Amino acid sequence: MGAGNPTADAAIKPFTFHRTLTVFQPDDATQTLRSYVRQRANLVRLSAHRRAKKLGYEVRKVEPPAPADAAAG
């Protein structure tokens, strides 16, 4: 009964965005992926920051223009 039914299989089978991040609920998927991407971006930015300081560059913080929804929240 379950093997031939693609919707039942899709409901059970997890889908993976990245090899370390597996998400089961599609409703939570967007939020989880968003936080995962934000976390990765922070790590990349921090490592680039450290590398630049080590090489002797002056690192200054530049504020990006805030999106409208972020300012409201």
Specify the length of the chain in residues: 73
User: Which residues, in sequence order, are CB contacts of 62 under 8 Å at separation 6+?
Assistant: none
CA 59 to chain centroid: 25
Q: How far apart are CA 21 and CA 3, in angstroms?
A: 26
Instruction: Let me know if residue 24 belongs to a domain.
Output: yes
Domain span holding position 44: 8-55
Instruction: Let me know if residue 67 belongs to a domain.
Output: no
Structure tokens at 26: 């599609």
Query: How do residues 9-68 score in pLDDT, each as one tens digit?
Result: 555 555 554 555 555 454 555 667 777 778 888 888 888 888 888 888 777 777 777 665
Does the pTM surpass 0.85? The reply is no
Number of domains in the chain: 1
Instruction: Let me know if residue 19 belongs to a domain.
Output: yes
Query: Is residue 2 within 8 Å of 8, Cβ to Cβ?
Result: yes
Q: Which residues face 14 on adjacent strands? A: none
